[in-house]
Amino acid sequence: MDKLLEQIKKGVVWPFPGGIHPPQQKSLSNSASITRLPLPDKLVVALKQHIGANGKLLVEKGQRVLKGQALTSPAANWSVPVHAPSSGIVTDIAPMPSAHPSALPELSVVIEPDGKDEWVALNPINNPTTLTHDELVNIIHQAGISGMGGAGFPTYVKADTKQPIEFLIVNAVECEPYITADDTLMREHAIEVIQGLELMQQLLNPALCIVGIEDNKPEAIVAMTKAAEHNEKIIVQTVPTIYPSGGEKQLIKLLTNREVPSAGIPADIGVLVQNTGTLFAVQQAVYEGKPLIERVVTVTGNTIHKPGNVWALLGTEIKHLLDCQGFSPVPQQRVVMGGPMMGFTLPTVRIGIVKTTNCILAPDHKELAEPGPEKACIRCSACADACPASLLPQQLQWFAKSKEYDKLQEHNLFDCIECGACAYVCPSEIPLVQYYRVAKVEIKEQQADKIKADRAKERFDARKERLDREQEERQNRHKRKPAAKSADEKQKVADALARVKNKSDNGDEKSAVAAAIARAKAKKLGDQSAELEPDNSEVAKERALRKEQARKYKDQKSQTDESADTAPVDDKKSAVAAAIARAKAKKAAQANEGTEPVVNEAPQSDAPVDDKKAAVAAAIARAKAKKAAQANEGTEPVVSEAPQSEAPVDDKKAAVAAAIARAKAKKAAKALENAEPAVSEAPQTEAPVDDKKAAVAAAIARAKAKKAAKANEGTEPAISEAPQTEAPVDDKKAAVAAAIARAKAKKAAEALQDAEAPNAPNNTDNSSSSIDADVPKSSDDKKKAAVAAAIARAKAKKLQKEGNDQS
């Protein structure tokens, strides 16, 4: 450190890489002193003239303000206020074109000066050494001072740094061509600049303060050396004239031989740099109490008749400066804010001066020619040789054109100071600096978007975590917490575990436990299988029993039919009886679907009948059977007196019913055989029966049949008092019903025959007695008998046809 200090005091400088020597053109403006311009008609004061956030607006439209009155107040980090440059009326607060190559609108306060130039109350400090560190920093902060030679970094932030500062450097190099604002300021106000430097020295307490001035400013060197001769810690160092020696990192290298690390700041290596104009503004704020409302601006160029440096109020339109200095524009005139190397062409001259404006250049076409069309890179490496930051401009330009932002950052794009040396030496006239500026803006926007997305994700994760926690708390709110176990209970549990562990050491006990577990599992599996597999043995037994009953019933039915067919009867009578039985069976089967036919237990008659009477009896029986079938269509006849069940008829009952049917058939056949001799012995009447009597007999038979049908319709011939079920009759019951119907038909035929015979010995029926009384006993002749037989056959045929239609 001591060796370095000795070298610095001896005037040793260390060169930096790269650099160029463009024409200086400073003699146009440094020959005259700084002049003060008349008040402009309008002041457009932008609220943001520095790096950082805007301040909070304190005025409103139509309000009168005084010179030096604060228009905004600091509202966030790196926020400094702006002040009214002159007294007047606030005519508008609106977005106005900004001092930027894009001229994007920025919120500005428009003031119309009243010409009085009336100051606000000032608070000057005569002895700043009595101020504390915080008080001095606050004065600098409230004065709105920011860097006036570079990007506009707030001065109070640098003044309040917590890092130790070894070297405080004053950047008075002013290396860019045409600009002489700092040069004339040091020549005319060197004492004020040194006072401002001493105030910063009071705040930072550096080991050495170095004022760096290029060797092309001899008058400024003399003035500054004389002003600082009373302070041993301040030295004025002359540096060679080379561009860009005024760059912050390059000047540090020149004066201290220290290099600022990539992506670092000078404070990281114990160095802090301030501009000449900034130190003058600090002195004005403390000693005069004046805020930063004006600065020195160089107005020069071949189109300016009176080039020089002027005191310009902040917010003064550039057009006002040009007009005051004798501006004579040429066709396609360019106006540049800044120098020819780092400045930018303004889209309009209706833009107000800001704190970082140090030069307004209005060149003609010969002085600053328009750049030609961009050509292909010839890879001459001139840009790399001229770069003071030791970068690869050609490579950066390729990455910038292809928007490979990651590679740009890998190649240290942000170490570029945008000095323009690479573009100045490029033979292909490639605007390299423009590519870098655009790429930097896009990368910053991308990083800002990423920061916003990360913050949004953090908020989302925090909210999700909070919601999950609240949901878990709601779920656990009503859960019963287990009671804490006492020491005795814990000891009991430990003892039990110890006993289990001791038992597990015995092999027999292990096997016993395993056997018990196996038995329990087997029992569980058995119970599960029992539950899963139902017992169907009873259903299978019932199904087998029904099959066996059906088989036996089929055999019995076939036997019954054979026995009924083999009964000995007379050919004629058996034919009549068979026809009657078939008709009645068919009608009974149709009328009694789902029911059981009624068995009429009428007394049996053994009286023999002749052919004529048999035909009449057959006709009467058919009529009665027809009426009875019609009357019983809506009724439910009952077979037995006992209540009927839904269970099928078993084999034993079917066998008994078949036996009864066979016995009755045999009895009827025997009665017919025994009755034939009696009929032949009985005296026959020979009186012929005429047509009238035959008609009377037929009418009587029809009346009796009709009377019997009406009696069946009005009554419910239910033999059983029990309620009848509506269950359908199966095949077995139908067979029994058919056999009973055949038996009844035979009995009815015999009863009718007995009723027609006047001398029948077993005639006990009242109905047959009435027939005897009404029908004459005389026999008919053969002609009438033939007619009656034909009528009977026709009626029987008709009844059979109706039965077939109904079935």
Residue ranges at the known binding site for [4Fe-4S] cluster: 377, 380, 383, 387, 416, 419, 422, 426
535 and 541 in contact (C-beta within 8 Å)?
no
| Look-up of token digits 């400024």 | 220
Q: Which residues, including other chains, have CB under 8 Å from residue 649's CB and lie 6 or more apart? A: 553, 730, 732, 733, 736
Coil, strand or helix: which one is 327? strand
Report d(CA 720, CA 646) in Å as an integer.
Answer: 15
> DSSP 3-state helix, strand, coil percentages of the chain (rounded to 5)?
50, 10, 40
Q: Which residues, including other chains, have CB under 8 Å from residue 389's CB and lie 6 or more apart? A: 18, 249, 412, 415, 416, 417
Residue type, 21: H
Report d(CA 188, CA 73) in Å as an integer.
Answer: 32
278 and 148 in contact (C-beta within 8 Å)?
yes
| Secondary structure, 3-state, 15-81 | CCCCCECCCCCCCCCCCCCCEECCCCCCEEEECCCCCCCCCEECCCCCCEECECCECEECCCCCCCC
Pairing of strands 167-171, 208-214: parallel
* Among the listed residues 643, 563, 576, the one whose alpha carbon sits nearest the alpha carbon of residue 614: 576
Sheet holding 208-214, edge to edge: 234-239, 208-214, 167-171, 271-275
As a dihedral over the C-alpha atoms of residue 84, residue 86, residue 91, residue 93, rounded to 10 degrees, the angle is -20
Q: Which residues, including other chains, have CB under 8 Å from residue 676's CB and lie 6 or more apart? A: 570, 608
Which DSSP state fits 479?
Answer: S
Coil, strand or helix: which one is 317? strand
Report d(CA 41, CA 464) in Å as an integer.
Answer: 58
Coil, strand or helix: which one is 657? helix
Pairing of strands 336-337, 344-345: antiparallel
Report d(CA 295, CA 85) in Å as an integer.
Answer: 11
Residues paired with 64 in a beta bridge: 89
Instruction: List residues forming the annotated binding site.
Output: 377, 380, 383, 387, 416, 419, 422, 426
* Among the listed residues 367, 370, 419, 374, the one whose alpha carbon sits nearest the alpha carbon of residue 393: 419
E strand segments, 690-806 = none
443 and 411 in contact (C-beta within 8 Å)?
no
Report d(CA 807, CA 804) in Å as an integer.
Answer: 5
Report d(CA 581, CA 602) in Å as an integer.
Answer: 16
Measured from the Cβ of residue 384, the count of other Cβ atoms closer than 10 Å reads 18
Question: Encoding tokens for residue 281?
Answer: 């503004």
Report d(CA 316, CA 179) in Å as an integer.
Answer: 19
Coil, strand or helix: which one is 196? helix
177: preceding bond cis by omega (within 30 degrees): no
- What's the Rg (C-alpha) of the chain? 69
What is the phi/psi pair of residue 106, to 5°?
Answer: -130, 150
